[in-house]
Each structure stands twice: as structure tokens, then as C-alpha cells.
A = this chain, B = another copy of it.
């Protein structure tokens, strides 16, 4: 039955998260350990400890692995509250790429792999990264252009390739690698996922990229695999099945991005609203100038529409559906709406909006990236259009 009322438990968690972020986390936003390549691991561990203390650590992780075991609708509520500060998801250990990696490992990894990789990751002892994207010429939006290879060699695979825009690579304990097992070497071939410690011989972080955003721990790096030799049991799931697992990981991962950044955009809107009420110009508070007031109204609409799209898709996932169409629609709608909110909020602040005196400037930069990360709007629009045109009723 159509219903938009939160449960008691959700309300409770929401309040606790909000309070925690507002009172405990936001003061850290001016901490010098927030660098242009994201918060340092030292800061992250300090925040994690605080979240554990508050009983809010790893809300998305199953109770088996030490988390709160939330479903997607619960997560929508908690992640939005956490995202109110860029540091909130770091503290709760529900930021990308770790959050998606935990989800994938819980679903696909062997018990042994889970013990080695998932257990410490879920506990916040380690971080991880996901080495999929390749520089121009390789796999970007089009996964079929994957050029990194994993050639079978005895009981091992030898991996060669170059990746970039690898979020969190610096400081990660391990990575999930996307590579192609070429045909002709073994029975099974095709795009495959591998697990590897980051300190393996053959993995080198070439450089950390300077990027416009700065909220991800470790930043975004360029990584080279040079004769990286991995034992056969490093394969995550089955050989040739990587694209299927990518979808297992991505549909929810896109959605949790929406949840977190929705919280960030709410913050920007609140800061802009407060400023619009207190800053005067031309005889009244600037918010009472319709030119500003209308921006606030549009923010409010964009935020609510985003929330509803997130909840709707979360409901689809909780109902056991794959929600690929829904998560694509939501990813486009939410990333573009939140960017508008951030952009309007910055504009309302005027010159101050361009400075780091408020967090709006950072949120603007972060949300700009979201229109590209996890599939740019253009790729999702294309996928949606194709599905529409395949519908039978159009015959």
C-alpha cells in the first residue's frame, strides 16, 4: 500500500544519525586532515571510532559481519542523514567504494575470501578500491572496451593493464580488479574479477590525480598492473562473469551515492536558506526577493523529488527486483537535481559561495562529479531509451 511514513525504527535511527553528524562530525570539517585528496586515514579511523561509539557504524553491513543490517529503504534514511556532512559517510564507513565492495563481497566472495578481505573491511580496519576504469582507449562508460588482461599461467593469472580514476587506491589494503581472460588459454574466458592485496608485486600507484572533488579518502589514483601474478583462487566469483557482478554492485551503489549526496545537497540548501533569511540587500532579507526565494522553492522541490526517487528505487530493490531501469532513472534525476540545488545554493551565497568559508563550495564540487561517476547521465539516458523502445506494447 502506498505509504511514505517512516517506521519508529527508521525515525529513531534518523534522529540519532542527524544528531551525531551535527554535533560530532561537522566540527571536523575544518580539520586540516581534510586534504584535497580527501580525509586522511588517521582522520577516518578517528571518525570511525566515534561512529562505533554512537552505535552507527557500518549500517549497511549485515549483522553477521558486524553492521546494523539495514535494508535499502532504511539505508535511504540513514545515508541521507549521514551525507549531511561530506565526512558523515566516512565516519559511518558507508562511503564509496568500500560500501559497494562490501556489498559485492558479501554476495559473491567465497567464505575464505570473505574472511581475508570482507571481515577487516567491514570492521573498518582496512579500506579497498575497485580497479575498473581505464584511460582513453580502454574501458570507461563502455565496459566492453576493457583492455586489462589476465592471462592464465599455470595455477595463476598474470595481469597487465593500466587503470585510472581509482577512488581510494592510495591507502587501500586490497582491490577488486576487472580484467579480461583472453580466449584460448583455458576453458573459461571473458571479463573477470580478481582480488589482490594492494601491496602485491606488480601493482603500482603511478600518481594521485588532482581532481575537483575532495571527499573520498585516498583521492583518485592512476594504477598500473605490471605482470601482477595472482593465484587462481583470487578470482572473485566465476571467470567471465564480471559484467554480471558489476551490475550486482552498481545498481545499489548508484543508489547509495544518491542517498549520501542528497544529504549534502540538503546541507547546502539549509545554509543558503539561513543566509537568505539573515543577509539583507535592497531593503529586505535577500530571501524575500523572489529572485532568491524562487531558488529556495526550487531547491525544496528538487530535494523532495530526489528523495522520492531514491525511496522508490530502494523499495524496488527491497522487493527483490534488479531495478536497473529504475536505478538508471534515479541516478540521472537525482544527480542532476542535486547539482542544481548545489549550484543555486552557491549562487545565493554570492561571493561567499565561492569560498571555503561554508561547505557549500565543496558540496558543489562533489556533486558535479556525481553527474559523471557510476555512469554519466548520457549513458543512462541511452540505456533507458533502448529499454523503452523494446517494449512490446509499441509493436
Contacts and interface: CB of A to CB of B under 8 A. Distances in A.
Do most interface residues of chain A lie in helix, strand or loop, or is the interface mixed?
Answer: helix
Interface residues of A, number: 96
Interface stretch (A45-53, A246-254, A312-320): A312-320
B287 A290 contact: no
A344 to B, nearest CB: 11
Contacts of A332: 297, 301
A364 to B, nearest CB: 7
Contacts of A84: none
B389 A277 contact: yes
A319 B209 CA distance: 49
28 contacts: A1-B5, A2-B6, A2-B73, A2-B314, A4-B315, A136-B275, A136-B278, A141-B281, A165-B351, A210-B356, A211-B355, A212-B361, A220-B354, A273-B388, A273-B391, A274-B394, A287-B388, A293-B388, A294-B378, A296-B384, A298-B381, A300-B388, A301-B329, A308-B308, A308-B309, A347-B371, A350-B372, A354-B368
Given A2-B5, A140-B351, A308-B309, 19 more contacts: A2-B73, A2-B315, A3-B3, A5-B315, A136-B279, A164-B351, A165-B352, A211-B361, A287-B388, A289-B382, A291-B294, A292-B385, A300-B329, A305-B305, A305-B309, A305-B333, A347-B371, A347-B376, A354-B372
Interface of A: 1-7, 10, 73, 76, 133, 136-137, 140-142, 144-145, 164-165, 209-213, 220, 270, 273-282, 285, 287-294, 296-298, 300-301, 304-305, 308-309, 311-312, 314-316, 319, 329, 332-333, 346-347, 350-357, 361, 364-365, 368-369, 371-373, 376-378, 380-382, 384-386, 388-389, 391, 393-394
